[in-house]
Structure 1
Amino acid sequence: MGRPFGRVTASSIAALLASKRSELILVLRVTVASALAFVADRLVGLSQGTWAVITAIIVMQASLGGSVKAAMDRMAGTLVGAIWGAAISLLVPHHGDLETGIAIVVAVAPTALFAALSPSFRVAPITALIVLVPSGGTALSPLAYAFDRVGEILLGIIAGVGVALFVLPARAQNLMLLSAARIAELNADLLAALITALMEGQGRPDVASIHARIRASLKQMDAAVDEAARERKTHLSDHVDPEPVARTLYRVRHDLVIIGRASATELPLAVKPALEDPLLGVRDAAIAMLRGTATALRAATPPPDLAAFDASLAIYVAAMDALRAGGVIRRMESEEVGRIYALRFGFEQLGLDLRDLSERGRELVEKGRPADL
């Protein structure tokens, strides 16, 4: 039992720290990288060592693939900006205010164009300006100052990437799978909210917020997929490509959009007695499948099979076929008929995509991946 401290206990603090493990590891890596960059700068003796520390902090991302991308972008922008800034400093006089203003425009405009065309060069205009108008009253020539600037950035990149690689490294694929697990859980929450509204007809106040959280998680997943691909291209990882899992989760989201549109209003009274229990069975089986998949993605275990979902879907389809054979559906308004068949189509497509999601997850387990989440 935790020792109380006001309203906070030691056990609650430990639980909070455990839930923020990834964030705390990132804090540690950023701190180590900045300290290492500072020590390295003091040993090398560069003129503006703070830039090495700043670069190490910028380079340090949540995953190794993210750190590599940040390092490449930082280096590309620095090289372009330093070369152009040094050239303008040597070729364009800038002793007075007017001349300096003209030189700044000439230095910044082309590098800003590079930055507009590619985010990789977003630091190029800043670097060009720093080289053109150095701070601190440095006595170095423009060319020497440019070399010094590149050296500072390179030192920070080495410190940042080195720490990302060797100090509690986080692989992008694992971050991607955590996001995928979160999306699967949110999809389960969304399906529960949709079918509740379909049965009760009391509106869907929670649906918009769930959709917003799904969109945010999808963005995180997409970024992690890109970073995982970069890790494989640079031979920093031999993980299985997680992109098929991400692609399937997008299809599951599309299926839920179809189901959401079909369940915007309460189930027609003519079919509700016959379809209510089968629909609740399909809902429960799909939710169990989604939550089980989320658990499997986190634990690197095989996802659950679809036997329960398939059985519940078969019962639901049989109930609809019985309504059609009995003439109930023919007596309904065309709009209502369209909705209930769209709902059936959505669940059938969801079943196909859940099966694909299970197979893609099983591939990850069978081909193996380090369980270092």
Structure 2
Amino acid sequence: MSKLKPLFDRFYARRAQLALAVRSTVAASAAFALATALDLRLPLWAVLTSIIVTQGSVGRSLKATRDYMFGTIGGAVYGGAIAVLIPHTGELQLLGMLVLAVAPLAFVASLNPSLNVATVTGVIVLLVPTMSHIDPLSSAIDRVGEVAVGAFVGLAVSFIVLPSRAHVQIRGAAGRLLELIAAAFTELLAGLSRGRDNDALHRIQDGIGTALVALNATGAEAERERSARLSSGADSGPLLRTVLRLRHDVVMIGRSSVVPLPSELQTRLAAPLAKLSEAIAGYLRGCAEAIREGHSPPPIWPVHVAVKAYAEQVASVRSDGLTRGMSGDAAERFFALGFSLEGMRQNLIDLERVVAEWAEVPRKVKTASRSDHEETPDTAGA
């Protein structure tokens, strides 16, 4: 049994992909059975449509179904109209009609990618009658009917068979992104003692950027589910905006860590920076776990204490005159770091509120303006 556990864990880690595979298989089989029972001319299109609209989440399936149906109907109407209204007998005339059908539909699809299928449908409606000896109007009707059957089956399967809600997926995506930000923050603060080149900075930021794009896509799917009243969870907008601001904070801190601090400042600031790194990274990881599991946010007071201790040490360093000998660029980066850390503290306060909203048993979190929180010395030392 112990030998099977790693294999089971591997499959469990891919449970979302396995569920999509099951849904796609069921959708394809059901679409073929229904198309055959309805005696549709080409069950192939019903099967293909059912697979296309069966997506990783209900919200994504809704969008795929809408786009595919609109594109199919538009392409069928336009292609059928050309075939019916323009007489053609030879191959040269058919080639001209093909150009007339493809060019406008391809142009529309380039303006609105969600209508890509319109071009394909127009070509099918135009050319299938020449191969199967049916009239263009019947070809258009058949195409719309086959796609409608596939879309209906695919959407129904997405709702019934191992349904996956984007509102659930966004929890895991947000948790992963917060953990990436925590790891990057720790690494970037460590750069204040050894510096960091731009290539290294880009490598650190690339993973966060990719995860943020995926999170935004999942958030759009979650809002589509909310609009269709398929989900009653929290609004994803505040979560996405807060995480984006935290990403910007990490970018600003990264720019400040390119040049290491002078040795005197490293000695004086090493301890408060270490505590600051531990407090903020720990809080981000705690929020990641909380939003993933639907728990209340962890206590944020260690962040306030750490930021305040760093600000006090910066003020002490300035009063001792240790910043006077710094070059203009180094001084600018040093004080920008303080402003960035204070901005990150404020965004972590917003994160506390957002995580509480996503908790299954929400905890009351005081949402206050910056002046309502304990007075913290300006971490920039200004």
Q: What TM-score bracket applies, with the shorter chain setting the length? A: over 0.9
* 2:100 is equivalent to residue 102 of structure 1: no
- What is the CA distance between 1:309 and its match in structure 2? 1.0
* Match of residue 317 from structure 1: 311
Contact 1:240 1:367 in 2 (8 A): no
Contact 1:270 1:328 in 2 (8 A): yes
1:5-84 maps to which residues of 2 (within 5 A)?
Answer: 9-84=3-78
* Match of residue 362 from structure 1: 356
After superposition, the Cα gap between the structure-2 partners of 1:115 and 1:342, relative to the gap in structure 1 and judged at 3 Å, is same
After superposition, the Cα gap between the structure-2 partners of 1:253 and 1:120, relative to the gap in structure 1 and judged at 3 Å, is same
- Among 231, 250, 253, the alignment partner of 1:256 is 250
1:213-252 maps to which residues of 2 (within 5 A)?
Answer: 213-252=207-246
* Match of residue 188 from structure 1: 182
Distance, in Å, in 2 between the alignment partners of 1:235 and 1:316 is 47
SS at 2:233 equivalent: coil
- What is the CA distance between 1:367 and its match in structure 2? 7.0
- What is the CA distance between 1:177 and its match in structure 2? 2.0
SS at 2:316 equivalent: helix
* Structure 2 unpaired stretches of 5+: 363-382
SS at 2:33 equivalent: helix
Which segment is superposed worse, 202-211 or 57-66?
202-211
Distance, in Å, in 2 between the alignment partners of 1:202 and 1:226 is 35
Distance, in Å, in 2 between the alignment partners of 1:188 and 1:314 is 19
- What is the CA distance between 1:311 and its match in structure 2? 0.7
After superposition, the Cα gap between the structure-2 partners of 1:302 and 1:136, relative to the gap in structure 1 and judged at 3 Å, is farther
- What is the CA distance between 1:96 and its match in structure 2? 1.5
Paired-residue identity, %? 36
Distance, in Å, in 1 between the alignment partners of 2:267 and 2:85 is 84
* Match of residue 111 from structure 1: 105
Distance, in Å, in 2 between the alignment partners of 1:125 and 1:367 is 49
- What is the CA distance between 1:204 and its match in structure 2? 7.5
Which segment is superposed worse, 195-204 or 100-109?
195-204
Which segment is superposed worse, 158-167 or 237-246?
237-246
After superposition, the Cα gap between the structure-2 partners of 1:152 and 1:273, relative to the gap in structure 1 and judged at 3 Å, is same
- Two-structure CA RMSD over aligned residues (Å): 1.6
* Match of residue 173 from structure 2: 179
Distance, in Å, in 1 between the alignment partners of 2:275 and 2:79 is 67
* Match of residue 338 from structure 2: 344
TM-score, normalised to structure 2, is 0.91
- What is the CA distance between 1:366 and its match in structure 2? 5.7
Contact 1:193 1:207 in 2 (8 A): no
* 2:156 is equivalent to residue 162 of structure 1: yes
- Among 127, 135, 144, the alignment partner of 2:138 is 144
Contact 1:93 1:103 in 2 (8 A): no
Distance, in Å, in 2 between the alignment partners of 1:48 and 1:287 is 57
Distance, in Å, in 2 between the alignment partners of 1:211 and 1:324 is 31
Contact 1:78 1:124 in 2 (8 A): yes
For each residue in 1:174-226, what CA deviation from the matched residue of structure 2 results, as whole angstroms up to 9, or x when unmatched? 21221111110111111122122222336587543332221111111111111
Distance, in Å, in 2 between the alignment partners of 1:146 and 1:333 is 73
* 2:328 is equivalent to residue 334 of structure 1: yes
Contact 1:275 1:316 in 2 (8 A): yes
* Match of residue 365 from structure 2: none
* 2:86 is equivalent to residue 92 of structure 1: yes
How many residue pairs get matched? Answer: 362
- Among 263, 272, 276, the alignment partner of 2:270 is 276
Contact 1:93 1:100 in 2 (8 A): no
Contact 1:89 1:132 in 2 (8 A): yes
Contact 2:167 2:231 in 1 (8 A): no
Distance, in Å, in 2 between the alignment partners of 1:123 and 1:367 is 44
After superposition, the Cα gap between the structure-2 partners of 1:84 and 1:284, relative to the gap in structure 1 and judged at 3 Å, is same
Distance, in Å, in 2 between the alignment partners of 1:213 and 1:294 is 16
Which segment is superposed worse, 115-124 or 327-336?
327-336
Q: Which amino acid aligns with 1:267?
A: L
Distance, in Å, in 2 between the alignment partners of 1:294 and 1:78 is 42
Distance, in Å, in 1 between the alignment partners of 2:78 and 2:361 is 48
Contact 1:197 1:204 in 2 (8 A): no
Q: Which amino acid aligns with 1:350?
A: M
- What is the CA distance between 1:330 and its match in structure 2? 2.7
Distance, in Å, in 2 between the alignment partners of 1:19 and 1:135 is 48
- Among 108, 112, 117, the alignment partner of 1:123 is 117
* Structure 1 unpaired stretches of 5+: 3-8, 369-373
After superposition, the Cα gap between the structure-2 partners of 1:206 and 1:301, relative to the gap in structure 1 and judged at 3 Å, is farther
